[in-house]
Amino acid sequence: MGKISNEDLLKKISDKFHDQVTTVGEPFGLLTLETGREQIIDVLSYLKNDAALQFIFLTDITAIHYPGIERQIGIIYHLHSPVNNVRIRLKVFLNDGDVHIPTATVLWNGANWMERETYDFFGVIFDGHPDLRRILNVDDMVAFPMRKEFPLEDPNRVDKKDYFFGR
């Protein structure tokens, strides 16, 4: 266990942000919170700059896609406080078609490539990002391949058609 328990952590965040941050759970002891895009930078900034918490390390930014529900795209932030040996996870869910969220590069320079990767695979637009373009996939790709509506298989491939296998 870290120097700060999840209860203390949750209490500090609740005192500061009240009902703007809701608790999702504590899977595997990892406190998971949900918030909105209006206050995500405030929450991240508080977690990073608070003298006691010191979540100075941005482990990862990624996203997830749940098709068929109202707020399909979730953007997920993992933070680590090396001083207190504790981690936290933040989620922001957005409607498909309006996938805009403020950039975290104002807090961590390391968020630059993480946000480019999240844009590359999920099409999340990080407003204010200095250079939001594809990073891993080919530049001329039109799809956001980790979204569920795009097929995983390469459509150019013909040698796996059913008629080759008598189906």
Partner 1 sequence: MNDIQLVDAPAGVEGAGFFATSVDKVIGIGRSYSLWPLPFATSCCGIEFMATMSPHYDLARFGAERLSFSPRQADLLMVMGTIAKKMGPVLRQVYLQMAEPRWVMAVGACASSGGIFDTYSVLQGIDEIIPVDVYVPGCPPRPEAIIDGFMDIQKLVQTESLRRRNEPKYQELLASYGIL
Contact positions vs partner 1 (CB under 8 A): 136-138, 141, 143, 145, 150-154, 156-157, 159-160
Cβ closest to partner 1, residue 18 vs residue 160: 160
Rounded to a whole number of angstroms, the minimum distance from the CB of residue 115 to partner 1 is 20
Q: 81 forms bridges with which residues in the sheet?
A: 86
Cβ closest to partner 1, residue 70 vs residue 139: 139
Rounded to a whole number of angstroms, the minimum distance from the CB of residue 164 to partner 1 is 12
Q: Pseudo-torsion of CA 24, 90, 32, 135, nearest 10°?
A: 110
Cβ closest to partner 1, residue 89 vs residue 116: 116
Rounded to a whole number of angstroms, the minimum distance from the CB of residue 156 to partner 1 is 5
> How far apart (Å, rounded) are the C-alpha atoms in residues 44 and 41?
5
Extended strands (E) in 14-152: 22-25, 31-35, 57-65, 73-81, 86-94, 100-102, 125-127
> What pairing do the DSSP bridges indicate for beta strands 22-25 and 57-65?
unpaired
Cβ closest to partner 1, residue 52 vs residue 141: 141
